[in-house]
Amino acid sequence: MSSSREGISGRHAVLQALRSERQVHSVLFARETSTDPGFKPIQQECARRGITYRYVNSHELVGLVGSTFHQGVGAIVAPLPNHSVKDLIEGPRGRGEEPFLVAVDGVEDPQNLGAVARSALLAGVTGLIVPERGTSVIGAGATKAASGAFSLLPVAQVSSLGSALATLKREGIWVVGADANGGKAPWKLKMTGAVCLVLGSEHEGLSKQTLDQLDARVCIPTPGGDLSLNVSAAAAVLMFERVRQTADAGKA
């Protein structure tokens, strides 16, 4: 497939791409599931945007979208726009909002990366920072797990996470790292305001270079045992702690 086009699959991923400003070249349904009423919202969005859809056999669909987990539908879309770190800062500030960013440091499992993006979108995160090396690519697996979040959440894919974090700090953004080895409980740490939450790899956590750049560390207490949470589960806990704190601040 041309570098100017890529395949996505899954009902939520296709529907959210159609509802976003992302360019959608074509939508494809598996002929074997053509009578499924669950496709109606996708077909309605196609009609709204003037995009024609067609039916193909399941084998052809897999070849076109690059995934066997397609739920009977896929789409050919333009690649995600790659935002700069400055874009992620200036975008929300231009709307009168404080940037709330998430950065990943060595998250290797595409399912985890997609799940982090999905929770980030739901928690009101304004941008995601993903290193180009040492972290899963935003491919078919991550896109499917994200359920369309990548079409709606601005992403900066950066060559150096260290440089990205340094830029954030210069711009007055508080950089908080999730560290299973120690730190304040999330409800004892101020998570509101301009914040970037940094999440480490599934096995090694945050790199030493990243740990050295943090303004604060946050650790989720686990009274039921000494196992650490999966990175996507930890991300959801921490992001929604910010949601809670923001709501409480609004009541004050």
Cβ atoms < 10 Å from Cβ of 250: 8
Q: Structural domain boundaries of the chain?
A: 6-77, 85-251
**What is the reported pLDDT for 252?**
64
CA 224 to chain centre: 29
- Which tens digit of pLDDT belongs to each residue from 28-70? 999 887 778 889 999 999 999 999 899 999 888 888 887 777 8
Q: Which CATH number fits domain 6-77: 3.40.50.1820, 3.60.20.30, 3.30.1330.30, 3.10.20.30?
A: 3.30.1330.30
Structure tokens that stand for 182 in this block:
């120690």
- Which tens digit of pLDDT belongs to each residue from 175-187? 999 998 889 999 9
Structure tokens that stand for 204 in this block:
């090694």
CATH code linked to domain 85-251: 3.40.1280.10
With a threshold of 0.75, does the pTM exceed it?
yes
